[in-house]
Amino acid sequence: MQFQLSEEQLMIQQAARDFAQTELKPGVIERDEHQKFPTEQVKKLGELGFLGMMVPEKYNGSGLDAVSYVLVMEELSKVDASASVVVSVNNSLVCYGLESFGSEYQKEKYLKPLAAGQQIGAFCLSEPEAGSDATSQQTTAEDMGDYYLLNGTKNWITNGGTASTYLVIAQTNRALKHRGINAFIVEKGMEGFTIGPKENKMGIRGSDTHSLMFNDVKVPKENRIGEDGFGFKFAMKTLEGGRIGIAAQALGIAAGAYELALEYSKQRKSFGKAISDHQAIAFKLADMATQIEAARMLVYKAAWLKDQGQSYTLAGSMAKLYASKVAMDVTIEAVQIHGGYGFVKEYHVERMMRDAKITQIYEGTSEIQSLVISREILR
Ligand code: CAA
């Protein structure tokens, strides 16, 4: 067993750390406050190759491993979870989905610009009435011969306004239940496709979340991903990898808040000494550091299993379940350690506490992760 990162992985980690400090940190409070999408920063992330990290070079990706990907997610999320969710969705849901299951035509036309960071993608599964219960899709895709007619509404779609390419899950044959579901590539600007207003969110406010409406959108047959009826499996397989990315995001949020709390506790004095010298604070820091390290092991292991070509269903769900709880617990403690300063925006930790919450909700709630884990261990 090896607990050592390779030279290349360390280099990538450092590049992401530098980027987070120099490009993401300035302006992160303002972007959160005004719900401003990090347009310039995302462009630069694309130029660095961070938007198509695991895609082979022949499709304009960086050809890196999943461990490098989680290292980048962790470092970016320490500073700006709104920017890191763009990286996560583009890499693990959109690029991975197209690269693993798309046709050659789809890879040439859609994957290449997405992996190069010239375009952004969105993954559209959730609906007003179908979140955790993902098989009960109400969006329909009627087979019209050489095209499908898409009708329905998708909710809470990350990158909903900024994306150019949307992977949309829809029901083609209700009688077949989940085996009648398909996944389609929909382009922004297709007739009948409209984007609803931006959601006003508690956290990750710099990210761009919208509902999407499809009204008789004609989707060419060659834009269906995989065989007829493959859409639900496509969504599940893709989300498995996505959960590792979100687990890494949660880990990063926790680690970022912990680092700020540690630093603050050494500087802030009370009762004649640094607050870190009070056992009440020192023990909090000890618990936070231990929880973060445990989460890190789960996240890295899940990514490593993916790199080895082994099953990561269980490991990915465990990593997401645990890391997202750690993100919540640690950010609450980080605010507590900062006292009154923790409650104001300049000190960053209140934002991190708000950002942490979504990691227990999107790409499968904590309850869904427990369901997946229990099914795996009881199988
Ligand atoms: N890999 C491959 N196939 C899988 C699978 C997996 N991991 N999990 C399930 N399947 C297959 C099953 O084998 C079954 O197929 P067959 O009948 O052909 O064998 C089919 O899918 C249905 O499986 P289940 O009977 O287990 O289905 P279920 O109704 O009990 O639901 C679930 C399973 C795990 C709860 C699933 O519905 C689920 O993951 N729900 C959560 C959805 C989710 O994560 N949404 C996130 C939205 S995306 C998002 O947040 C993105 C963003 O913008 C940030």
Q: Is the pLDDT of residue 217 over 90?
A: yes
CA of 168 relative to ligand 1 center, distance in Å: 15
184's enclosing H/E stretch is strand 181-187
Q: Does the C-beta of 232 come closer than 6 Å to ligand 1? A: yes
Cβ atoms of residues 23 and 44 within 8 Å:
yes
pLDDT of 119-145, one tens digit each? 999 999 999 999 999 999 999 999 999
Query: Can you tell me the distance from the alpha carbon of 73 to that of 319, in angstroms, rounded to the nearest whole number?
Result: 14
Q: Does the C-beta of 374 come closer than 6 Å to ligand 1? A: no
Confidence of residue 5 (pLDDT cuts 50, 70, 90): very high
Mean pLDDT confidence for 202-221: 98
Confidence of residue 1 (pLDDT cuts 50, 70, 90): confident
Query: Can you tell me the distance from the alpha carbon of 320 to that of 278, in angstroms, rounded to the nearest whole number?
Result: 32
Please report, rounded to a whole number, the percentage of residues in the chain having pLDDT higher than 90: 99
CA of 134 relative to ligand 1 center, distance in Å: 7
Q: Is the pLDDT of residue 184 over 90?
A: yes
CA of 223 relative to ligand 1 center, distance in Å: 22
Q: Does the C-beta of 32 come closer than 6 Å to ligand 1? A: no
Q: Do the bridges between strand 140-143 and strand 147-158 make them parallel or antiparallel, or are there none, so unpaired?
A: antiparallel
Among the atoms of ligand 1, which is closest to the Cα of residue 232? 21
pLDDT of 13-23, one tens digit each? 999 999 999 99
CA of 299 relative to ligand 1 center, distance in Å: 21
Q: Does the C-beta of 198 come closer than 6 Å to ligand 1? A: no
SS3 57: helix
Does this model's pTM top 0.75? yes
Query: Can you tell me the distance from the alpha carbon of 127 to that of 156, in angstroms, rounded to the nearest whole number?
Result: 8
Query: Can you tell me the distance from the alpha carbon of 20 to that of 122, in angstroms, rounded to the nearest whole number?
Result: 23
State the Cα angle at 38 between 37 and 44, rounded to 5°: 150
Please report, rounded to a whole number, the percentage of residues in the chain having pLDDT higher than 70: 100
Q: Does the C-beta of 371 come closer than 6 Å to ligand 1? A: yes
**Two structure tokens written together for 214:** 């499809």
pLDDT of 320-366, one tens digit each? 999 999 999 999 999 999 999 999 999 999 999 999 999 999 999 99
**How many other β-carbons are positioned within 10 Å of the β-carbon of residue 132?**
12
Query: Can you tell me the distance from the alpha carbon of 170 to that of 310, in angstroms, rounded to the nearest whole number?
Result: 29
Q: Does the C-beta of 71 come closer than 6 Å to ligand 1? A: no
Max distance between CA atoms of the chain, in angstroms, equals 78
Mean pLDDT confidence for 192-206: 97
Contact partners, residue 209, CB within 8 Å, separation at least 6:
156, 157, 158, 160, 198, 199, 201
CA of 239 relative to ligand 1 center, distance in Å: 8
Query: Can you tell me the distance from the alpha carbon of 104 to that of 114, in angstroms, rounded to the nearest whole number?
Result: 15
What angle, 0 to 180 degrees and rounded to 10, lies between the N-to-C axes of helices 279-307 and 313-338?
Answer: 160
Q: What values do phi and psi take at 124, rounded to 5?
A: -120, 90
Contact partners, residue 188, CB within 8 Å, separation at least 6:
163, 164, 165, 166, 195
| Whole-Å CA distances, 126 to 182, 212, 275 | 14, 10, 45
Residue 122: DSSP 8-state: E
Residue located nearest, by CA, to atom 46 of ligand 1: 363
Q: Which candidate, 319, 293, 295, places its Cα nearest to that of 306? A: 319
Query: Can you tell me the distance from the alpha carbon of 155 to that of 36, in angstroms, rounded to the nearest whole number?
Result: 20
Mean pLDDT confidence for 195-203: 97
Confidence of residue 247 (pLDDT cuts 50, 70, 90): very high
Q: Does the C-beta of 312 come closer than 6 Å to ligand 1? A: no
The amino acid sitting at 368 is I
CA of 148 relative to ligand 1 center, distance in Å: 23
Q: Is the pLDDT of residue 94 over 90?
A: yes
Q: Does the C-beta of 76 come closer than 6 Å to ligand 1? A: no
Q: Which candidate, 169, 33, 176, places its Cα nearest to that of 101? A: 169
- Render the burial of 166-194: b for 16+ CB within 10 Å, e for the rest: bbbbbbbbeeeebebbbbbbbbbeeeebe
> What local confidence, expressed as pLDDT, does residue 257 receive?
98
Identify which of 168, 178, 362, 379 to mutate to test ligand 1's pocket (most ligand atoms within 8 A of the CB).
178
The pLDDT mean for the chain works out to 98
Residues with catalytic roles = 363
